[in-house]
Amino acid sequence: MISAARTLPAPVPCRPLRHGGFTLVELIIVMSVMAILLAMLAPRMFNTQQFTVRGFADQLIASLRFARETAIAQRAPVYVQVSGNQVRFCLDAACTLPATGADGKSPYIVSAPGSVSIAGSGNFAFDALGAATLASPMTLSLVGDVGQIITIEADTGYVH
C-alpha cells in the first residue's frame, strides 16, 4: 500500500479589511464647499423683507381681482378705497356698506404689514362689467427694502 501524505493547501494571505468611510481630504473638501454655500445663502435666508413685500403684493393683487370678480358676479359696482397703508372694499361709494371677503369676513380690509407701505392713494370702483372707473391706469407702489408695483388698468380692470 502506498501511503500518500496529505498536504494542506498553502495559506491564503489575508487582505486588510477596507471600511467604506471617507478620507480626511474628502471630508475637508465637502465641508469647505458647504461653508462657501452657507456664506452665500445665509444673508438671503435671514432677510425676509423681500418675502414680506412680495407676499403682501400677491395678497393685494388677489384681493383686487376678487373685488372685480364680485362686481361681475353681483352685477353691481364694488368700490375700492386706497388710503394710508390699507385698502378697503365697499358696496357703496361712501363706504358705509362694507364688502365681504373671500373668507366670509366683513369688513373686507387689506392692511400692509408694518415694514411695508403703500405709495399711492385714491378711490375707484369696478363696475358690473369688471372695468375700473379710472381715467388712466392706477399704479400702487409697495415700498419696503424692495419695491413692488401693482397696476390696475382703466378700461378692463385687469390687475397686475
Task: Determine, yes or no, domain membership for 138.
Answer: yes
Query: Cβ(101)–Cβ(108) under 8 Å?
Result: yes
Task: Determine, yes or no, domain membership for 81.
Answer: yes
Q: What range does the domain containing 108 cover?
A: 49-152
**Alpha-carbon torsion (44, 50, 56, 60), positive or negative:** negative
What are the tens digits of pLDDT across the range 43-101?
A: 777 777 778 888 889 999 999 999 999 999 999 999 999 988 899 999 999 989 999 88
Assign 35 a pLDDT band (cuts: 50, 70, 90). Answer: very high
CATH of the domain at 67: 3.55.40.10
Query: Cβ(102)–Cβ(66) under 8 Å?
Result: yes
Distance CA 63, CA 124 (A): 14
Task: Determine, yes or no, domain membership for 8.
Answer: no
The structural domain count of the chain equals 1
Task: Determine, yes or no, domain membership for 33.
Answer: no
14 — alpha (psi -120 to 50), left (phi > 0) or beta?
beta
